[in-house]
Chain A
């Protein structure tokens, strides 16, 4: 017993302390070093932070270069999948585009009014610049959902900067380096976003699920029954972490086994992101001036803009109307052509049926003649065969055919 314990201790000591000829450090030294690094990274020292930023910059760039072949394979795989569903998607997208064009006009009007009202309420306007950022590292890890973008503190990116895919929210910046930043995606388990669910106007928090959808949490009991499928989810702006009114996704039907769980399907597909927009926000104070002319000019400009938007809207509606008319005409002529073809085909079918009937009769007759030659004498009424039938009668024919 004691000897086996000794063996164990010797083996463990050897594993920890023995250095092979090619090893520069013992494992004990390196394990201690990694525990020390873990402890250091949990403490937020400035020197450690700067060192970490430097390491991050270097490794992110290297990872980007090394990932090029895998990204190429990944992109090829995605392209192949996309091509197979290309036509269907194209048709659907075309319809959606027409709808969006018209709704975009109304949303522009609303945005303009919104801006005006905000200006009236606050004494400052937050103007934002969206800067385009390229995703340099996106490994879609099953554990942590984050991406690395090629914009950092040099481009005024800060911790908490909102990141978009077109107009849709993607996540927020959680780590800033000089020329790179890490963005925590909405799908990550550690992501929490205060939202409003429309049209029910319910306040909630969306957390990531670790998968490509979010989960609605922290709502009052009973409110979840009010939700309808296709309810829209957008940021409420509570807590000032995210700007208000940014679309996130739509509610998704919950699984039957997961009661009381409401999921959100994100508008943006996080696995397909190549470029994103980071919003750099700057606040500007409004200068109150007594100069009426300048106020008139300010009032005039929004009116002009609104009129211009309305004119555009009319133009688009007229365009789509004329297109619909044209399509209608085309469809009518197509229907006529199809009707003609149908009547032609019906005629063809009738003549083919007649041919088939004639063929069947001929076939029957031939069969009878063949059998008559072989078995005719058995069915014919003669002096010796009194049970036979007179030639030409239907009984005679049946008798011959029954001999087959």
Chain B
């Protein structure tokens, strides 16, 4: 009985891992910036949110995604609500994509992801420069989008492995 209980709590913890990782990544800005590679950066929360909301993962609550966005804004120093909006736009996009997709295809997902993050980064850039008069380097956004797109396929294979473990 005790064994079953402990197994249940481990499973519960295991199923919450994506959210823990999301919160850690927004607080930590996990992006290898210290490597000092020129322009190199990628947006890990975008990949995580896109994948798990596309899969309609049961513990990925939208309100928690919203809070994660607020935390990210505070840590990075952006006006509050910008990242939340970006993250929720990803959720809308994945929800729409899920509704119109009959046969899921990883390559289609990947290019749809590129389209979505390009759109969201454009919206972000526009809001920050037009409404908040921030000076930003557009090249940084383009490179960030590109690397996020590239890293998507790597992280997706890890996440799939995780989901497989959860189903087993």
Query: B115 in the interface, Cβ–Cβ < 8 Å?
Result: no
Given contacts A66-B28, A190-B134, contact A74 B74 (CB under 8 A): no
B27–A59 contact, CB under 8 A? Answer: yes
Tell me, yes or no, whether B153 is within 8 Å of chain A by CB: no
* Contact, CB under 8 Å: A55 / B95: no
Query: How far, in angstroms, from A162 to B73 measured CA to CA in the complex?
Result: 24
With contacts A7-B100, A40-B80 taken as known, whether A140 is within 8 angstroms of B34 at the C-beta atoms is: yes
Q: Given that A15-B95, A31-B85, A31-B88 are known contacts, is A38 also in contact with B80, CB under 8 Å in the complex?
A: yes
**CB within 8 Å of A: which of B19-34?**
24, 27-31, 33-34
B76 CB within 8 Å of chain A: yes
Contact A27 B92 (CB under 8 A): yes
Query: Does B48 lie at the interface of the complex (its beta carbon under 8 Å from any beta carbon of A)?
Result: no
Question: Contact: A41 with B80, CB < 8 Å?
Answer: yes
Assess the B34–A42 pair: CB atoms within 8 A.
Answer: no
Contact present for A143 and B136 (CB under 8 Å): yes
- The answer to the question of B18 belonging to the interface, with a C-beta cut-off of 8 Å to chain A, is no
User: A150 in the interface, Cβ–Cβ < 8 Å?
Assistant: no
Q: How many residues of B contact A (CB 8 A)?
A: 55
Task: Knowing A23-B61, A59-B27, say if A142 contacts B70 (CB, 8 Å).
Answer: no
Distance of A143 Cα from B79 Cα, bound (Å): 13
* Residue interface mask B3-26, A partner, CB < 8 A = 1: 000000000000000000000100
Separation in Å of the A119 CB from the closest CB of chain B? 40
What is the count of residue pairs linking A and B with beta-carbon distances less than 8 angstroms?
144
Given A59-B74, A141-B33, decide whether A67 and B27 contact each other with a Cβ distance below 8 A.
yes
- Asked if A34 and B88 sit within 8 Å, CB to CB, the answer is yes
A151 nearest CB across to chain B (Å)? 17
Interface majority SS on B: helix, strand, loop or mixed?
Answer: helix
Interface of chain B residues 97 through 151 with chain A (CB within 8 A): 99-100, 127, 131-132, 134-137, 140-141, 144
Asked whether B92 lies within 8 Å of A42 as measured between CB atoms, the reply is no
A52 within 8 A of B: yes
Given the known interface contacts A42-B131, A190-B134, the answer about A11 and B75 at a Cβ–Cβ threshold of 8 Å is no
Please tell me if B1 contacts chain A, counting CB pairs below 8 Å.
Answer: no
Distance in Å: Cβ of A22 to nearest Cβ of chain B: 5
Q: Which residue of A lies closest to B89 (CB)?
A: A31
Q: How far is the CB of A157 from chain B (nearest CB, A)?
A: 16
* CB-contacts of A130-146 with B (<8 A): 137, 139-144, 146
Check B88–A139 contact: CB distance below 8 A: no
- Are B144 and A142 interface neighbours, CB within 8 A? yes
* Interface residue ranges of B62-98 to A (CB < 8 Å): 62-63, 65-66, 69-71, 74-82, 84-85, 88-89, 91-93, 95-96
Are the CB atoms of B29 and A66 closer together than 8 Å? Answer: no
Is there contact, CB below 8 Å, between B30 and A70?
yes
Residues A30 and B80 in contact in the complex (CB < 8 Å), given A15-B95, A142-B39: no
| A59→B75 contact, CB < 8 A | yes
In the complex the two chains form, is A15's CB within 8 Å of B85's CB? no
Chain B residue nearest in CB terms to A17:
B95
A20: chain B residues within 8 A (beta carbon): 56
Q: Measured between C-beta atoms, what is the minimum distance from B122 to chain A in Å?
A: 14
B69 touches A66 (CB 8 A): no
Q: Does A240 contact B (CB under 8 A)?
A: no
CA distance in complex: A358, B69 (Å): 87
> Is B76's CB under 8 angstroms from A141's CB?
yes
Kindly list chain B residues whose C-beta atoms are within 8 Å of the C-beta of A146: 77
A24 at the interface (CB under 8 A from B): yes
- Give residues of chain A (284-339) contacting chain B, Cβ–Cβ below 8 Å: none
Cβ of B3 to closest chain A Cβ, rounded Å: 28
Chain B residues near A60 (CB-CB < 8 A): 74-75
**A120 interface residue, CB < 8 Å from B?**
no
> Cβ of A11 and Cβ of B61 under 8 Å apart?
no
Chain A residues whose C-beta falls within 8 Å of the C-beta of B84 in the assembled complex: 30, 33-34, 37
Partner of B24 from the list A66, A141, A190 (CB cut-off 8 Å) is A66
Q: Which residues of B contact A39 (CB under 8 A)?
A: 81
- The residues of A that contact B132 with a CB separation of less than 8 Å are 42
Provide the bound-state CA to CA distance between A31 and B75, in Å. 21
Residue of B nearest to A77 (CB): B34
Contact B91 A24 (CB under 8 A): no
- Name the CB-closest residue of A to B85: A34
A-B contact pairs, 26 of them (CB 8 A): A12-B96, A14-B96, A25-B62, A25-B63, A30-B84, A34-B88, A37-B81, A38-B80, A39-B81, A41-B81, A42-B131, A55-B74, A59-B27, A59-B71, A60-B74, A63-B27, A70-B30, A139-B33, A141-B33, A143-B76, A143-B136, A143-B137, A144-B77, A189-B136, A210-B137, A271-B36
Interface residues of A (CB under 8 A from B): 7, 10-12, 14-16, 18, 20, 22-25, 27, 30-31, 33-42, 52, 55-56, 59-60, 62-63, 66-67, 70, 74, 77-78, 137, 139-144, 146, 175, 182, 189-190, 210-211, 271
Residues of B bordering A, CB below 8 Å = 24, 27-31, 33-36, 38-41, 56, 58-59, 61-63, 65-66, 69-71, 74-82, 84-85, 88-89, 91-93, 95-96, 99-100, 127, 131-132, 134-137, 140-141, 144
Q: Which 7 A-B pairs have the closest CB atoms?
A: A37-B81, A38-B81, A189-B135, A15-B95, A34-B84, A41-B80, A15-B96
Given contacts A12-B96, A34-B66, A38-B81, 15 further A-B pairs with CB under 8 A are: A14-B95, A15-B93, A15-B96, A16-B95, A22-B61, A27-B88, A34-B85, A38-B85, A42-B79, A63-B28, A66-B28, A139-B33, A140-B34, A143-B137, A210-B137
